[in-house]
Structure 1
Amino acid sequence: MQVNRRDLMKWAGAGAAIAGGLAHAQDSGPIKLGFISSLTGAQAPLGQPMLLGAQIAVDQINQAGGVNGRKLELVVRDDKAKPADATVAARELAGSGVNLHLGVVSSAVALALTAMLEQEKAVLITCAAHSDKLTKENFNRHYFRVTDNPYMKLRFMARGIAERHGNVTAWSGLIPDHEYGRTTWNCFEEGLLEYYPSVAKKQPTIIKAIKTQYGATDYRNVIGAAMGLQAEGFFNSAYGGDAVTLYKQAKPYGFFKKAKVVVDSANEFVVAKAMKQELPDHWAGTHWYSGAFTDVPMSNAVFEEYKKRTGDEYAVGWVGEGHAAVMAYAKAIQEAGTTETQAVIRALESVKFDTTCGPRYFRKEDHQAVKPLIMYRLRGSKAASAGFEVVEFVKMPGEEFIDPPTPGQPLAFKFVKV
């Protein structure tokens, strides 16, 4: 399928190049966007698809004539999921005139970057970093999150689980002992306590989550501890290569026979592609699934381009989120008529932009994107060519689950004590 030029031209203007006076040396030639993310190491399975999605967006926009007559160009840096490497990269990019950044897998990296954005007169749109602090107590106007956040996503997932597995009431978790792990568990627990009584008509029992180490290579002690719990449902938020290691080591112990339901916060197809036929039946959160958006032309176009470049039938959602971040910048730059930092921030606060999940926008108060929420049920399959299959998916509007905007204040839970 070819990209529809008329659709793209809605947001990518074909006018003359902007003349003179733009900040950060972006007054002629291509508009450079700094892409900073984890491209090597355990989190590369998240960062690399994100980069591919961003590059597909850049190529589509350039083929349609660019933004206000100027081509886009990605300037790529690998942060290795290390805050120090990310801040060095961001300063180097800002020093060379690149003030508009996107990407980022790790919340720790995102928090480090947001602390320096105002000083460097830069903007950052993250595609995966999910710490609630980024749009709450640590919020600043130079930061935007283009994807969903854990509060909205995991309450949605808990609602879906309560509807389909209401008989499983005893829950625990396997969570990394860092910002992302603690945040995701708190939000999922909040959802269980909120929706089980109203949807499943039962009161859930919450058993303290077992904490794991980031980048661990041996999860046997963690698995052993989980096997001793009375829980029947388990939530996992180890991600990327860590999740692959955890799942592979858990299977011989019979963990997936003990667990009646397993909910994975956001690994999408990452574990499935590694385990194939050995993949246990479980639910996984995703940021974009092409099968859920067949009525969205941009989703179809990006999916076809993804398949053409990779030969793969299962695009992970980070492809869509990398694509969405570029789309947001393209629309904002078009509206602002400049790449100057404050003008782009103001435009990002007001525009709607097309994405693989349909139109999306940032809330002005806290710069959290509002978008649909999706999860799917996966399992290994000898009959499927990929070695696994999507059994079913659930999609609901993000507006139904999003938290109130409270920049400068911690995330407030109604049911969980933190």
Structure 2
Amino acid sequence: MVELKRRTLMKMLGAGATAGALGAPMIARAQGAPYRIGFVSALSGPSEMLGRGMLEGATIAIERINSSGGVNGRQIELVVRDDKGKPDSGTVAARELIGEGCHLLMGVSSSAVGLAITAILPQENAVLLTAAAHSLRLTHEDFNRHYFRITDNPYMRQRAQAKLMAELHPEVTSWGGLIPDHEYGRSTWDSFKHGLEAYYPEIAKSEPTISNPIMCQYGGSDYRNYVVSAMRDPAVGFLNSMYGGDAITLFQQAKPYGFFQKKALVVDTANEFMVARAMKSEMPDMWTGAHWYFGAFKGNPFNDELYAKYVERTGNKFPDGFVAEGHACILAYAEALKTAPEGNTEDIIAALEGMTFETATGLRTIRPEDHQVIKPVILYRVRGTNTADGIEVVEYRTIPGDQVMDKPTPGAPVVW
């Protein structure tokens, strides 16, 4: 039996490898051979922090399962590729993994990469569970049955954020956006905008004024022109959809302009603790969307164990939710393999459709119509402090996913 060892993984990644296969390159069919799952996500580039969090969570889940005897008496083995956040690299990585017998794929931080890989799945006879790719197209107009989203989506999260802003800040009725000019950015803005239009008249009893979003360069180094445009915008509240290193750069360059003092409210779509850990005491006070917040699920054994293991391995007391989503992908495959022990693609798809499984955020159910998971939407307010940790969570909310979900329309655009 071959297990994914942390020291092997860290050695591989530290050496700058963009591809790594752990164990013999064989298809796991014989009794006793490990189930091989292919991990593909950004382990370098602007989205590196997302991919590494997913990988850490997946590793913890695999160690948990393997130490308890595996699934059907067989161990789980992870085979890792770096897609660099680029669609062409993602498809190459996916084909390599499939060629090595990994027909069960997971990870993917970029929607563009997710769309590219999903397009090749039917002919490659493979399955992909994404832990972050949020494009609504993946479960709507570009849907195919080989794809599953194991996390929430922008319709759920950004509409929940719009609803919360209408409840907490009914006086902030003019909104703008700082949005990356790619698929994920457009999905988040469309979802938030429609949420504002739905919830402000209902809750705040006022019609929102919504500016055109400021579309920003992905992977840039100078965002000052975008900041100046935002300062000139009459909007008082802003949605930020820039993430990772781009968001850090944007926020640092916005501070000298007094952006966070002159604009009443900034809502962040998905940076979780990434930006806060980097900026520490300089982190502006804002609400952010998250895949997971450990403090919201205390008492859940999966949550408590995942958090303890993660802190033990990394020393980081503020893990990003991508850790829990990588963890959830492995738990989903493990549950599906119990009823599809051969690991055949068609059997795995059938097992995943409608399946309910335990995770760090509680039970999740995969909607059979469009393969979108139903899970809580998690929002928390984070800010920098002068304490030893440098940041703190002021408050949080969990919203049941079925209260803010889009209707399933596989093969057709989302219905707003």
Counterparts of 1:202 and 1:137, CA distance in 2: 33
Q: 2:70 aligns with which of 54, 66, 69?
A: 66
Q: 1:50 aligns with which of 54, 75, 89?
A: 54
- The one-letter code sitting in structure 2 at the alignment partner of 1:202 is S
Counterparts of 2:169 and 2:382, CA distance in 1: 15
Tell me which residue corresponds to 2:181. 177
Tell me the TM-score normalized by structure 1: 0.92
Counterparts of 2:55 and 2:169, CA distance in 1: 36
Deviation of residue 107 (structure 1)?
0.4
Tell me which residue corresponds to 1:192. 196
SS in 1 for 2:39: strand
Deviation of residue 65 (structure 1)?
0.7
Tell me which residue corresponds to 2:399. 396
Tell me which residue corresponds to 1:345. 349
1:114-139 Cα deviation digits (max 9, x unpaired): 01001111000000000001000110
Whether the aligned pair in 1 keeps the contact of 2:43 and 2:52 (CA below 8 Å) is: yes
Counterparts of 2:180 and 2:319, CA distance in 1: 25
Deviation of residue 25 (structure 1)?
4.5
Deviation of residue 27 (structure 1)?
2.8
Counterparts of 2:29 and 2:85, CA distance in 1: 28
Deviation of residue 338 (structure 1)?
1.9
Counterparts of 1:81 and 1:26, CA distance in 2: 31
Tell me the TM-score normalized by structure 2: 0.92
Tell me which residue corresponds to 1:411. 414
Deviation of residue 295 (structure 1)?
2.8
What does 1:189-338 correspond to in 2, within 5 Å?
189-338=193-342
Q: 1:357 aligns with which of 357, 361, 369?
A: 361
Tell me which residue corresponds to 2:5. none
Deviation of residue 92 (structure 1)?
1.1
Whether the aligned pair in 2 keeps the contact of 1:31 and 1:73 (CA below 8 Å) is: yes
Counterparts of 2:305 and 2:170, CA distance in 1: 38
| Misfit runs of 4+, over 2 Å | 23-28
Q: 1:370 aligns with which of 364, 370, 374?
A: 374
Across the two proteins, how many residue pairs are aligned to each other? 390
What does 1:7-26 correspond to in 2, within 5 Å?
24-26=27-29
- The one-letter code sitting in structure 2 at the alignment partner of 1:53 is G
Tell me which residue corresponds to 1:15. none
Tell me which residue corresponds to 2:171. 167
Q: 2:389 aligns with which of 383, 386, 390?
A: 386
Deviation of residue 47 (structure 1)?
0.8
SS in 2 for 1:101: strand
1:178-224 Cα deviation digits (max 9, x unpaired): 11111100100111111111111221110111010111110000000
Tell me which residue corresponds to 2:143. 139
Change (3 A) 1:25 1:297: closer
1:378-409 Cα deviation digits (max 9, x unpaired): 111002x2211100001110000001100000
- The one-letter code sitting in structure 2 at the alignment partner of 1:290 is F
Q: 1:130 aligns with which of 106, 129, 134?
A: 134
Counterparts of 1:24 and 1:403, CA distance in 2: 38
Whether the aligned pair in 2 keeps the contact of 1:24 and 1:340 (CA below 8 Å) is: no
1:337-387 Cα deviation digits (max 9, x unpaired): 22100000000013211101001111000000000011111111002x221
Tell me which residue corresponds to 1:37. 41
Tell me which residue corresponds to 2:10. none
1:227-283 Cα deviation digits (max 9, x unpaired): 001111000101111111111111111110111110000000010011000001111
Name structure 1 gaps, 5 residues minimum.
1-22, 414-418
Counterparts of 2:389 and 2:44, CA distance in 1: 24
Counterparts of 1:207 and 1:268, CA distance in 2: 25
SS in 2 for 1:354: strand
- The one-letter code sitting in structure 2 at the alignment partner of 1:412 is V
- The one-letter code sitting in structure 1 at the alignment partner of 2:395 is E
SS in 1 for 2:289: strand
1:22-61 Cα deviation digits (max 9, x unpaired): x954334111100000001110011100100000000000
Amino-acid identity (%): 55
SS in 2 for 1:76: strand
- The one-letter code sitting in structure 2 at the alignment partner of 1:48 is R
Tell me which residue corresponds to 1:10. none
